[in-house]
Structure 1
């Protein structure tokens, strides 16, 4: 699988002179023939410009330059497979540095999809005629009916943000509008906050509240009502590794609890039970069939697809 470990293995095995990735910086890693070929296989003629943008981003970000090079490389490959630029001024995708307190306080990088990235991937499907997500100011919406999604348009009376709205119209005529009040956004933020004080504004919610709120509504809108291409589904899966603690400004934050909590929850929700011989036999048979199916499927997957699908596994392995 084309995760951090598999990329490391490729580097060690494929170079003319055996390379230990752990001893190389990000520039040296990017210049190895193995990595150059991987980026070319995904981006074709755009690979040179993309790798240069990665190096420029790292060189101009003190925190990111301190992150483990292989984590930067893996995150950059995720962006490459989605064909999204990582220029933080554009806001499509980010390489976000964070401190992993459970792994010796190491600085690492992870891929993060911006709300503009969601819009870009949606437009690529060719199924959306219009799509938008934005904050709503006091007075702009009156008498919102969540059942019929009808409301009266009003005039903005102040700079106070009272909610967030997402909307799309598809080429087949289907329309959908989602509106979340500020209170609903806060309820969502607090519910998924991993900070000790859940009500405290920290990280990106403190510095870029509106951007995170817009992204929250947009993800809900597209994930629940939109047409998701395979590319969009994979992007949502990758972005979901740590949806609530992301600093779009590029500042390091602690997302260790976000990475590990999903596994902890699964362990609590799936208690062990005593199985009969028949159940055990049936499960064994099913596993064999599943393994055969997975083996056949993997032969058809490209390296770029593997990277997307296995990113969660990589994030979990870094606990």
Structure 2
């Protein structure tokens, strides 16, 4: 039978849970709430603690991300955890990128973290399906394209015909183990039209974010995502990734994740750096941003 002291403690805990507003908690305190910790443990099992620690390190080393709403950071991190993709920028699988987001209810601008799936993340998820024999996407330079038949998808490519460093398009290709093949070619003009159509900036012609720092990386991702979502074999993981990519997420009380507000524009004061690409061994590394502000330590209790 419960003692008076234990009953008092239980009542105090219940009262504290009722008066605590999760939206007012800092990231560390929010991550250590029983509900959130349980959710990460359900997804990652024994790797939950190390993943959560890596998220705290990521945020403390990125002052822009540290200024973002904690719940949006946690939601994006949980999305990455669900997909079993690390958030280390050097890996290039997935990122948490801070953006300005307009709250549709209050009309105020808020800094929120957006989950962004990297080029390598799509490849990683495709490989896990064990259905792909070959998968690649590359830029096409002036002189390399001999012909392209949109109907039959016959693509004549001359790797030795390059005449300049001007990129004229992007080609994606995959072959499944069952023999099905698909080739997709996007001209530079088609990529640009897609970018502008999906831009949330006031000036839609303006290149921001990774489109500004590494246009080719985002163009390859665009072709790859479009090709796989239309003609590839999509596992449950890849379907979830495609839906979550480039959206702000919100964790509900039951631990489920839903899309929240739309991203309106990139942070105007953010300093963008070159995205580092290294594909000599088929590996691609992306570094989204180079923060100029000093790291902020998170001292949440």
TM value normalised by structure 1: 0.69
1:94 aligns with 2:95: yes
Q: Distance in 1 between matches of 2:14 and 2:111?
A: 27
Length, aligned pairs only: 242
Q: Which runs of 5+ in 2 are unaligned?
A: 1-11, 265-301
Q: 1:85-234 to 2 correspondence within 5 Å?
A: 85-102=86-103, 103-154=107-158, 155=160, 156-234=162-240
Structure 1 residues 192 and 145, CA gap change in structure 2 (3 angstroms):
same
The answer to whether the 8 A contact 1:15-1:34 is kept is no
Q: Distance in 2 between matches of 1:241 and 1:218?
A: 18
1:83 aligns with 2:29: no
The answer to whether the 8 A contact 1:96-1:111 is kept is yes
2:299: which partner in 1? none
2:48: which partner in 1? 47
- TM-superposed deviation, 1:193: 2.6
Q: Which runs of 5+ in 1 are unaligned?
A: 1-12, 243-258, 260-302
Q: Distance in 1 between matches of 2:218 and 2:65?
A: 21
Partner-residue secondary structure (3-state), 2:44: helix
1:315 aligns with 2:283: no
1:34: which partner in 2? 35
- TM-superposed deviation, 1:53: 1.1
1:250: which partner in 2? none
Q: Distance in 1 between matches of 2:65 and 2:228?
A: 30
Partner-residue secondary structure (3-state), 1:96: strand
1:269: which partner in 2? none
Higher normalized contact order (CA 8 Å, seq sep 6+, divided by chain length) = 2
- TM-superposed deviation, 1:192: 2.6
Deviations 1:156-205 (A, max 9, x none): 23222111111111011111111111111112222233333332323332
Partner-residue secondary structure (3-state), 1:56: helix
TM value normalised by structure 2: 0.73
- TM-superposed deviation, 1:211: 1.3
Partner-residue secondary structure (3-state), 2:261: helix
- Root-mean-square deviation (Å): 2.6
Q: Distance in 1 between matches of 2:13 and 2:211?
A: 43
Query: In proportion to residue count, which structure has more helix?
Result: 1
The answer to whether the 8 A contact 1:96-1:110 is kept is yes
Query: In proportion to residue count, which structure has more strand?
Result: 2
- TM-superposed deviation, 1:315: 3.2
Deviations 1:45-77 (A, max 9, x none): 111121111001100111100111111111111
Partner-residue secondary structure (3-state), 1:185: helix
2:23: which partner in 1? 22
Q: Distance in 2 between matches of 1:231 and 1:132?
A: 20
Q: Distance in 2 between matches of 1:317 and 1:179?
A: 29
Structure 1 residues 106 and 14, CA gap change in structure 2 (3 angstroms):
farther
The answer to whether the 8 A contact 1:14-1:34 is kept is no
